[in-house]
Structure 1
Amino acid sequence: MMKIISFVVPGEPKAKARPRVTRSGIAYTPKDTINYENLVRLSFQTAYPYHTPVQGKVKAEIIAYFSIPKSASKRKMASMVLGEISPMKKPDLDNIAKIILDSLNQIAFKDDSQVTSLRVEKVYSERPCVEVRLVMEE
């Protein structure tokens, strides 16, 4: 049986940051990454409070909507809204996907290794957010 789940993570898209290491050699995850992972989890759990993690294969679609730069001209701004100009700036697509999928481990699915298909896109929008759509086999 197929199950489709869609939810939105509000705010500017963030990337999975690399672990940091203290002078004494202890590795830790940066606070920004932890906060954003918690926001992704909260967004999912608010939309699907009674969901139990699936064990079948998962197809993921992630669309990251970035704010239009304030310095953009009206002509450039219109092109950005129409999708003619895409964000070619950091964060990278793979790091956006990584933070979203890692956040959903043990919540939407048992492990992100179940994701067999992944589509990630970056676009400009007047409302920054990340839209996530998961197609799951139960």
Structure 2
Amino acid sequence: MKHLLLYISGACFAFTFSTIVYSLFRFLGIYPPLTENMTLSMLVISIIITILIFLSHQLPIENPILMYVLEVSCVMTVMIVAGAFFNLYPFGLYNVVTAVLVGLIAYGSVIVLIYLNNKADELKINHMILQRRSQDANNH
């Protein structure tokens, strides 16, 4: 269940982050106004990327670097193909590179979010172990 929640929270975080960055680019005059259809398209893109990353985690890949390369490839491919399919941004080299960079930054942010979540869990577990050891030492 915890893994499912990580995927869902990762997708939500990536969608929120991408929407904020898109809005920033709109404010700077780089992208057109964000419409309801574009917002839904961005949500679909976030969900597709999350599903592809989930599926990539089902592969028997032990090398973490290879896994990150596969995940980054998923992000870049979806950002380019879905961006063109949904007409999310003007299709040109500059905009494609910008969109891919936003996707990669969102991906990196999700990785950091998951790392921090895992680190917090690790600290909680270590704290509980120390408490039990302390209680056991006091009882003996």
TM-score past 0.5 threshold: no
Q: Relative contact order (alpha carbons < 8 A, sep ≥ 6): 1 or 2 greater?
A: 1
- In proportion to residue count, which structure has more strand? 1
